[in-house]
Structure 1
Amino acid sequence: MDHFLYRNGALYAEDVAIADIAAAVGTPFYVYSTATLTRHFQLFDEALGFADHLVCFAMKSLSNIAVLRVLAQAGAGMDVVSGGEYLRAKAAGVPGDRIVFSGVGKTADEMRMALQGGIRQFNVESEPEMVALDAVARSLGKIAPITLRINPDVDAKTHAKIATGKSENKFGIPISRAREVYALAATLKGLKVVGIDVHIGSQLTELAPFEAAYAKVAELTEVLRADGHQITRLDLGGGLGIPYERSNAAPPLPSDYGAMIERTLGHLGCEIEIEPGRLISGNAGLMVSQVIYVKSGEDRDFLILDGAMNDLIRPAMYDAWHDIIPVVEPAPGTEPARYDIVGPVCESGDTFAKAREVAPMQPGDLVAFRSAGAYGAVMASEYNSRPLIPEVLVHGDQFAVIRKRPSYEEMIARDSLPEWLD
């Protein structure tokens, strides 16, 4: 469910016409719905009502601090994977005891930052990281709460670039070595083991891989408790997918996911943490672009947009599908036209869709990319010296720019000349 609907032939974000935002801020831009963000968070929060729990938003999917503030006010914690994300979470008003620090390459400076600023736990990915964290914590006279991320060797059956739970992936500690690594952790005075962490991948559209991984976590919990470890918290990661292509079957609901967690792990009496990103933010955002030209090729027609792969890289990087719809609703019975929908960047990879059927379009028409809230703005770049595009937040009948488009002058001014070129 989202809050982007046609009214009287015009696409709206909640109670704001998309065309009005375009007139105010120019195109392309991202727009997010407060109502959708909070509704999706609440679905996860309700799904875990059977246990003490914390839903931590995976802010790598969307890290604008206004969005983070919306979710924090709704009760979310944050899952961060860098020092920059940690500082963004704090800037959004998230207390340290609601921030979980994940990621395979935490530096000593990042560890120090989080220990001094407050942290709920570190999800430790390797023995070298664990030893480094112990040294940093002891140097500060602090105890670092940790879970160890266990790689369960479960095939998530998702895109190879976003699978994280197989033995060949770079993430986590092999489950076969878990007991010895937990034994080592127990000897390090700067650490306190609080639980187990697992995350097998992103954009999963069925529950079976989750259940297979969580069954292994349940068994490991019993084994580690028998070894004398206090396992009180299970961090189950994120990864539940969204229906990018409307014709596809819908992925499981958060309620189904919560019921599976209760069935698999509820008997252990642990606090449950999950870290959804895409299912909270994906359908809460659109990218809006304008048609520059309609070009006739040898055997196809092209819609050339002012949005490009540097603004939304998912199609170029993952061959990802996004529904692309006109901002003005087509009249009933309108026959679709077929286009390759492309951007202006000098790359053949700057293609959003091939042979896509949409309503016939003209230069100046606006189109919206659905399900663009996750891994859209956060992965954008200034390739081809194209300024980052604005982000807009809608709340009811109000909207505000929450990241402005930099001017060319501001973008160029970040470069500097060495003195020998003056």
Structure 2
Amino acid sequence: MQAATAGPADPDASTHALDDDATLDGVDLEQLAHRIATPLHAYSASAIRQRIDTLRQALAGLDAGICFAVKANPNLAILQLMAEAGVGADIVSAGELQRSLHAGVPPGRIVFSGVGKSADEITGALSVGIARFNVESLDELHLLQRLAQAQQVVAAAAVRINPDVDAHTHAKISTGKSENKFGVSIDEARCWFAARSMFPNVRLDGLHVHIGSQILDAEPFRLALQRVAVFWRELEQAGHPIASIDVGGGLGVCYRAGVDQPLAVTDYAAAIHEALSGFKGRILLEPGRWLVAEAGVLLTRVIRVKPGVERCFLVLDAAMNDLQRPSLYDAWHDIVPVRADASGSPTTYDIVGPVCETGDTFARGRVLPECVAGDLLLIKATGAYGASMASTYNSRPLAAEVLLDRGRYAVVRRRQHFDEMIAGEQPARHWQTP
């Protein structure tokens, strides 16, 4: 793998974290699993830096800022890596704000999205001086005005537009159709700008659009950006200057080799260039999955092979609480053995975890070389929405997370202890009345 500071010669080239199925960022995965134990999440720092460099190269010529979608992977070490690379943060909660600040992301590179910002969350974000709020409802706009006035500050804000565009992705991660809860129509946004004088403590000078996640086709991006561009020009002509256009995120990645065909980042950047030609303000992007998904893997060992009447089950020590995407979205992740000699007879397995749910299934009818108890497997492309969505269901401790960087590794979250899991719980000893 290239050094972390080197970008690919071809900015369209796919950046893969895995050197092969046995090493990641120069680290032997079998040795890593032996030292840390499984299940464990491992991330390649080199692959993440390379993705950042690739995106920046594609955006050359634009006044563009990258704000990492923290929800994709909020580990402090990942956020610190982003901060060191000059990447900002796209947050959706007070907790993500605190994580970003703790990791060294300057407030001036933080944007706050989400439909349910509370008064306390907005107050906290105002007090540290974040760059911008992406406002999603008239009620939120009024609340932002009241809270900014109370602090005697002026908050920069963008209207999140719902362009009614089908992103052609999974229904649960589609956010840009009129039936989705996100954003407001262009007609409603037009009214907000017409009434700007009612909000003296809100500088309403931005537009924001995000139509969904894991998008593999350029056309939804083009259509959404074209609709935003038409509205931007209309607002400018009406005397409402626009200083920032946030184009969201959504770039898809390869979860299934040979099937998923991710959009080239240069084609994505070209769609932005084309739609926003002539725009003199700042363009913001909110990539999450695209920066970290393929940089991460979940290492897990086979507990046992369980022959069934109709199928053969491969039972792993990882479970749905460690990686929810297959259970939640029926998502595909490539799964391979981690060993030099994977020449066993091809065998068809349902690959499952130990949690007491039928939904605790990573794959059905998957063909692998014949496996035995103790074999180490690699679940690919888990760097986004893997550990970030994990839980302690079935009282299973949160898995360890490890950052790898050119032959070295560092534990960036140790495996949770039982006492930590129950730290907030206590017997009902002190009864009170409301």
In 2: Cα distance, 1:190 partner to 1:119 partner: 15
For the pair 1:322 / 2:330, whether they are aligned, the reply is: no
Give the aligned partner of residue 414 of structure 1. 424
In 2: Cα distance, 1:85 partner to 1:62 partner: 10
Give the alignment partner of residue 396 of structure 1, picking from 406, 421, 426: 406
Q: Is the 8 A contact 1:193 1:230 kept in 2?
A: no
The structure-2 alpha-carbon separation of the partners of 1:230 and 1:297, relative to structure 1 and needing over 3 Å to count, comes to same
For the pair 1:259 / 2:273, whether they are aligned, the reply is: no
Give the aligned partner of residue 108 of structure 1. 119
In 2: Cα distance, 1:395 partner to 1:55 partner: 22
Q: CA deviation at 1:194?
A: 2.4
2:303 partner amino acid:
I
Give the alignment partner of residue 90 of structure 1, picking from 76, 82, 101: 101
Q: CA deviation at 1:184?
A: 2.6
Q: CA deviation at 1:251?
A: 1.3
For the pair 1:246 / 2:261, whether they are aligned, the reply is: no
**Residues 302-341 of structure 1: pairs in structure 2 closer than 5 A:** 302-331=313-342, 334-341=344-351
User: Match of 2:205, SS?
Assistant: strand
Q: Is the 8 A contact 2:88 2:110 kept in 1?
A: yes
Q: CA deviation at 1:420?
A: 5.8
In 2: Cα distance, 1:178 partner to 1:331 partner: 57
Give the alignment partner of residue 70 of structure 2, picking from 39, 42, 59: 59
Cα deviation digits, residues 253-275 of structure 1 (max 9, x gap): 11111111101112222321110
For the pair 1:30 / 2:30, whether they are aligned, the reply is: no
1:15 partner amino acid:
G
In 1: Cα distance, 2:107 partner to 2:280 partner: 24
Give the aligned partner of residue 276 of structure 1. 287
Greater shift after overlay, 381-390 or 39-48?
Answer: 39-48
For the pair 1:196 / 2:210, whether they are aligned, the reply is: no
Give the aligned partner of residue 357 of structure 2. 347
Give the aligned partner of residue 369 of structure 1. 379
Q: CA deviation at 1:317?
A: 0.3
Runs of 4+ residues over 6 Å off in structure 1: none
In 2: Cα distance, 1:231 partner to 1:38 partner: 31
2:17 partner amino acid:
H
Q: Is the 8 A contact 1:295 1:304 kept in 2?
A: yes
Q: CA deviation at 1:249?
A: 4.2
Give the alignment partner of residue 217 of structure 2, picking from 203, 206, 214: 206
Give the aligned partner of residue 174 of structure 2. 163
Q: Is the 8 A contact 2:321 2:391 kept in 1?
A: yes
In 2: Cα distance, 1:270 partner to 1:412 partner: 49
For the pair 1:154 / 2:169, whether they are aligned, the reply is: no
In 2: Cα distance, 1:71 partner to 1:399 partner: 18
The structure-2 alpha-carbon separation of the partners of 1:413 and 1:268, relative to structure 1 and needing over 3 Å to count, comes to closer
User: Match of 2:104, SS?
Assistant: coil
Q: Which residues of structure 2 form unaligned runs of 5+?
A: 1-14
Q: Is the 8 A contact 2:253 2:260 kept in 1?
A: no
Kindly report the root-mean-square deviation, in angstroms, between the aligned alpha carbons of the 2 structures: 1.3
Q: CA deviation at 1:185?
A: 3.4
Cα deviation digits, residues 76-121 of structure 1 (max 9, x gap): 1110000000000000000000001000011111111111112010
User: Match of 2:190, SS?
Assistant: helix
User: Match of 1:4, SS?
Assistant: coil
Q: CA deviation at 1:415?
A: 1.1
Q: CA deviation at 1:58?
A: 0.6
1:394 partner amino acid:
L
Give the aligned partner of residue 18 of structure 2. 4
1:276 partner amino acid:
P
Greater shift after overlay, 107-116 or 380-389?
Answer: 107-116
For the pair 1:230 / 2:230, whether they are aligned, the reply is: no
TM-score (norm. length: structure 2):
0.94
For the pair 1:75 / 2:86, whether they are aligned, the reply is: yes
Give the aligned partner of residue 11 of structure 2. none
In 2: Cα distance, 1:185 partner to 1:367 partner: 56
Greater shift after overlay, 412-421 or 185-194?
Answer: 412-421
User: Match of 2:22, SS?
Assistant: strand
Give the aligned partner of residue 385 of structure 1. 395
In 2: Cα distance, 1:221 partner to 1:3 partner: 39
Q: Which residues of structure 1 form unaligned runs of 5+?
A: none
Q: Is the 8 A contact 1:186 1:192 kept in 2?
A: no
Cα deviation digits, residues 8-50 of structure 1 (max 9, x gap): xx61111111112111111001000000111111111221112
Give the aligned partner of residue 8 of structure 2. none
1:328 partner amino acid:
R
In 2: Cα distance, 1:266 partner to 1:213 partner: 15
2:100 partner amino acid:
A
Give the aligned partner of residue 198 of structure 2. 187
In 2: Cα distance, 1:185 partner to 1:40 partner: 39
Q: Is the 8 A contact 1:144 1:192 kept in 2?
A: yes
In 1: Cα distance, 2:141 partner to 2:420 partner: 41
